[in-house]
Structure 1
Amino acid sequence: MQNTAAYGSWPSPVSAALAAAGDGRPDHLGTVGDEVWWTAPRPAEGGRRTLVRRRADGTEETLLPPPWNVRSRVIEYGGRPWAAVERPGTGPLLVFCHFPDQRLYVHEPDAAPGAAPRPLTPVSGVGGGLRWADPVPMPDRGEVWCVLEEFTGPAPTDVRRVLAAVPLDGSAADDRTAVRELSDGRHRFVTGPRVSPDGRRAVWLGWDHPRMPWDGTEAILATISADGTFEDARPVAGGPEESVPQADWDAAGRLLLASDRTGWWNLYRAEVAADGALGPLRALCPREEEFAGPLWQTGLTWFRALETGPVAVLHGRGDAVLGILDPDTGTLADAPGPWTAWSSTLAVHGSRVLGVAAGPDRRHEIVELDTRTGRTRVVGSPHTDAVDPAHYPDPVVRTFTGPGGRDIHAHVHPPRNPAATGPAGELPPYVIRAHGGPTGHSALVLDLEIAYFTSRGIGVAEVNYGGSTGYGRAYRERLRGEWGVVDVEDCAAVAAALAAEGAADPARLAIRGGSAGGWTSAASLVRTDVYACGTIVYPVLDLKGWATDETHDFESRYLDGLVGRIDEVPERYEERSPVEHVDRITAPFLLLQGLDDVICPPAQAERLLARVAGRGVPHASLFFPGEGHGFRHADTMIRALEAELALYARVFGFDRPDVPELELRT
Structure 2
Amino acid sequence: MVTTAPYGGWTSPIDARAVAAHDGRPAFVGVVGDEVWWTEPRPAEGGRRALVRRRPDGTEESVLPAPWNVRSRVLEYGGQPWAGTVTEHGPLVVFSNFADQRLYVCTPDDGDAPRPLTPLSGTGGGLRWVDPVLRPELGEVWCVLEEFTGDRPTEVRRVIAAVPLDGSAAEDRCRVRELSDDRHRFVTGPRISPDGRRAAWITWDHPLMPWEGTLVRVARITGEGEFEDVRTLVGDLGTAAPGGGAAGESVAQIEWAADGSLLFVSDRSGWWELQRIDPDGGGADPGAGEEPGPGAGDGAVALCPSRQEEFGGPLWNVGQRWFLPLENGTVAVIHGRGSTTLGILDPVTGELVDSAGPWTEWAPTLAVQGSRVLGIAAGPHSSYEIAELDTCTGRTRVIACRHADVLDPAYYPRPRSRTFTGPDGRDIHAHIYPPHNPDHRAPDGELPPFVVWAHGGPTGHAPMVLDLEIAYFTSRGIGIAEVNYGGSTGYGREYRERLRGQWGVVDVEDCAAVARALTDEGTADRARLAIRGGSAGGWTAAASLTATDLYACGTISYPILDLTAWATDETHDFESQYLESLVGPLAEVPDRYRDRSPLHRADRIAAPFLLLQGLDDVICPPVQCERFLAAVAGRGTPHAYLAFAGEGHGFRRADTIVRAVEAELSLYSQTFGLARSDVPVLELRG
TM-score range, shorter chain: over 0.9
Q: Give the C-alpha shift of residue 274 in structure 1.
A: 10
Tell me which amino acid in the other structure corresponds to 1:134. Answer: D
Corresponding residue number in structure 1 for 2:289: none
Contact 1:104 1:121 in 2 (8 A): yes
1:296: which partner in 2? Answer: 316
Is 1:117 aligned with 2:136?
A: no
**Counterpart Cα distance in 2 of 1:328 and 1:57:** 36
Identify the residue that residue 57 of structure 1 maps to in structure 2. 57
Q: Provide the C-alpha distance between the structure 2 equivalents of 1:556 and 1:475, rounded to a whole number of angstroms.
A: 23
Q: Letter of the aligned partner of 2:656 in structure 1?
A: T
Distance 2:256 2:210 in 1: 20
Report the residue type matching 1:233 in the other structure: V
Q: Is the 8 A contact 1:399 1:409 kept in 2?
A: yes
Q: Post-superposition, which runs of at least 4 consecutive aligned residues in structure 1 deviate over 2 A?
A: 271-279
In structure 2, what is the Cα distance between the partners aligned to 1:339 and 1:68?
31
Partner of 1:184: 181
Q: Is the 8 A contact 1:245 1:295 kept in 2?
A: yes
8 Å CA contact 2:233, 2:279 repeated in 1:
no
Aligned AA for 2:615?
L
Partner of 2:278: 271
User: Helix, strand or coil: the match of 1:337?
Assistant: coil
Q: Deviations over 1:269-307 (max 9, x none)?
A: 123349999882100002110000000010000000000
The 2-side partners of 1:265 and 1:61 are apart by 37
Q: Is 1:571 aligned with 2:591?
A: yes
Aligned to 2:475: 455
Out of 217, 220, 232, which is 2:217 matched to?
220
TM-score w.r.t. the length of structure 1 is 0.99
2:555 maps to 1:556: no
1:314 aligns with 2:331: no
Q: Which of 125, 128, 147 is matched with 1:131 structurally? A: 128
| 2:172 corresponds to | 175
Matches within 5 A, 1:496-535: 496-535=516-555
2:228 pairs, out of 231, 252, 256, with 231
How far apart, in 1, do the equivalents of 2:268 and 2:312 lie? 13
In the alignment, what sits opposite 2:290?
Answer: none
**Aligned residue type for 1:103:** R
Give the structure 2 partner of residue 19 of structure 1.
19
Secondary structure at the counterpart of residue 643 of structure 2: strand
For 1:496 and 1:273, locate their aligned partners in 2 and report how far apart those are by CA, in whole Å: 55
419-428 or 39-48, larger mean C-alpha shift? 419-428
Aligned partner of 1:284 in structure 2 is 303
TM-score by length of 2: 0.96
Aligned 8 A contact 2:233 2:282 in 1:
no
Contact 1:20–1:43 (Cα < 8 Å) also in 2: yes
Contact persistence 1:80–1:298 (CA under 8 A)? yes
The answer to whether structure 1 residue 146 and structure 2 residue 143 are counterparts is yes
Q: Secondary structure at the match of 1:156?
A: coil
For 1:259, which of 258, 263, 266 is the aligned residue? Answer: 266
SS at match of 1:41: strand
Of residues 526, 536, 561, the one that matches 1:541 is 561
Distance 2:593 2:573 in 1: 19
**Distance in 2 between residues matched to 1:273 and 1:206, nearest whole Å:** 19
| 2:255 match | 248
Q: Secondary structure at the match of 1:400?
A: strand
Question: Residue 596 and residue 297 in structure 1: after superposition, are their counterparts in 2 closer, same or farther (change >3 A)?
Answer: same
Whole-angstrom distance in 1 between the partners of 2:4 and 2:629? 39
Could you tell me how far 1:556 is from its partner in structure 2? 0.2
**3-state DSSP of counterpart to 1:20:** helix
Tell me if structure 2 keeps the 8 A contact 1:439–1:468.
yes
The aligned length equals: 663
Q: What SS does the aligned partner of 1:92 have? A: strand
The secondary structure found in structure 1 opposite 2:392 is: coil
2:103 matches 1:104: yes
1:407-429 superposed Cα distances (whole Å, 9 cap, x missing partner): 00000000000000111111000
Offset at 1:355?
Answer: 0.1
Q: Which amino acid aligns with 1:380?
A: A
Contact 2:421 2:427 in 1 (8 A): yes
Structure 1 CA distance for aligned equivalents of residues 24 and 373 of structure 2: 22
SS in 1 for 2:445: coil
Q: What secondary structure sits across from 1:25 in the alignment?
A: coil
Question: Residues 273 and 279 of structure 1 are in contact (CA less than 8 Å); yes or no, is this contact kept in structure 2?
Answer: no
Q: 1:345·1:356 contact (CA, 8 Å) conserved in 2? A: yes
The structure 1 residue matched to 2:492, chosen from 472, 496, 505, is 472
Q: Structure 1 CA distance, aligned partners of 2:412 and 2:258?
A: 43
Match in the other structure for 1:77? 77
Deviation sequence 1:134-166 (CA, Å, 0-9, x none): 011111101000000000000000000000000
Rate the CA distance shift 1:443–1:275 in 2: closer, same or farther, 3 A. closer
Shift of 1:109: 1.1
1:34 matched to 2:34: yes
CA distance in 1, matches of 2:3, 2:220: 70
- The RMSD of aligned alpha carbons is 1.1
**Shift, 1:57, TM fit:** 1.2
State the match for 1:373 in structure 2: 393
Distance 1:618 1:334 in 2: 51
Offset at 1:254? 1.4
What is the one-letter code of the residue matched to 2:96? C
Per-residue deviation at 1:320?
A: 1.5
Conserved? CA contact 2:30–2:37, under 8 Å: yes
For residues 483 and 397 of structure 1, what CA distance do their matches in structure 2 show? 24
